[in-house]
Chains A and B, each alone.
Chain A
């Protein structure tokens, strides 16, 4: 078990170190996320009354789009420079590689969220941190999203049409996670009683478990050569 965790930690560390030096992944995700929010501002006329209802939707669409960008890039780097083959040659459990990549991708999305939330709060004169539950929902939602996303991105980068394929593969499959995440987030933002939010939180945790377990079980088949 400790060997598994060490291998996983090594993959996470490798990704974070590479990102610290190049800063290409998070910076592009972040700029993209801010652009999405900007476009929503024009598209939806985000005035004070409209905002209360659509904030959670706007946030999640932003995370999902930026996340796709990051996932694709994170796995494309591995594929292009032959790093994936190198990783697979390492005498470790392959699922450790999966969990390492997924954890690194989760960190990237959370970093983007950590910057987007205060920026959104300032831009629209609201406080998204007033309800700490929002942060919990973002953590859970991002986990489910990256669990499936890492698996499908690993597949997508090995295809001829990889630039366009990931969102097409990922979005229809990840909808359950998004529905639950959006509903739970808007529940917290509207300060609903916990009884009304809890079903969505339960669903979100269930989906996270189901998707993580499924991806964990089939990942081996996606990376074998």
Chain B
């Protein structure tokens, strides 16, 4: 575990540096958008947080499948950690979105497909945590968690497609979309660079947090074992 810690320390330092760079670029380097003004800067971390949330849920489903295939409890730790991190970042994504929507759409909230799906996604993974809480046997907890992570991951995109059929007002900045949608804009190269760095920074942040969370879980398991040893 000691050798790994050194790599982890390196990862932490890199994460810190890229996060600082991303923050600098968002506030200083990236130009102010012409019509929306300063509030547009929410965009960089808003999308990056959503990206991290997705990474978390994707990692959880991969870990879930791997757990069911191999039955190694370390995969369960990965899955749990990924979902915990994913939940937090998806929530950051929703909250930053609300902050942006208030001046641009003149409301904190609308029942647009993306917003609705994001909320339902939060509920799915909150349910995941509640499911785990209700099970004492660690093996069964891991098994059921893996199954629910898989089912939830299948359901969320379907929810999105169902609601998508209604017209959306959420701007699609990447990959075209309707330019008349309120709050859409096209990125200048500086904005694009900032956006890219923010994405990279949040990906590093995710990797670092997940690693720490897995390590925490392993240490917790060790403490449990030592406790049991002391009692006997």
Instruction: Tell me if A159 is interfacial: C-beta within 8 Å of chain B.
Output: yes
Instruction: Tell me if A125 is interfacial: C-beta within 8 Å of chain B.
Output: no
B131 and A218 within 8 A (CB): no
B155 and A172 within 8 A (CB): yes
Instruction: Tell me if B8 is interfacial: C-beta within 8 Å of chain A.
Output: no
Instruction: Tell me if B37 is interfacial: C-beta within 8 Å of chain A.
Output: no
B147 and A155 within 8 A (CB): yes
B143 and A222 within 8 A (CB): yes
User: Closest CB-CB distance, B170 to chain A, in whole Å?
Assistant: 17
Nearest B-chain residue to A159, judged by Cβ:
B134
CA distance A148 to B134 in the complex (A): 20
B151 and A162 within 8 A (CB): no
Instruction: Tell me if A36 is interfacial: C-beta within 8 Å of chain B.
Output: no
CB neighbours (8 Å) of B150 from chain A are 214, 218
Which secondary structure dominates where chain B touches chain A? helix
* CB 8 Å contact bits of A148-186 with B (1 = contact, 0 = none): 100110011011111001001101111110011000000
Q: Which range contains the number of A residues in contact with the other chain?
A: 20 to 34
Which secondary structure dominates where chain A touches chain B? helix
CB neighbours (8 Å) of B148 from chain A are 152, 155, 169
Instruction: Tell me if B190 is interfacial: C-beta within 8 Å of chain A.
Output: no
Q: List 27 A-B contacts (CB under 8 A).
A: A148-B155, A152-B148, A152-B151, A155-B147, A158-B135, A159-B134, A159-B135, A160-B134, A161-B130, A161-B134, A169-B130, A169-B131, A172-B123, A173-B124, A173-B151, A175-B162, A179-B163, A199-B165, A203-B161, A210-B154, A210-B158, A214-B150, A214-B154, A218-B150, A221-B146, A222-B147, A224-B143
A residues whose Cβ falls under 8 Å from a Cβ of B: 148, 151-152, 155-156, 158-162, 165, 168-169, 171-176, 179-180, 199, 203, 207, 210-211, 214-215, 218, 221-222, 224
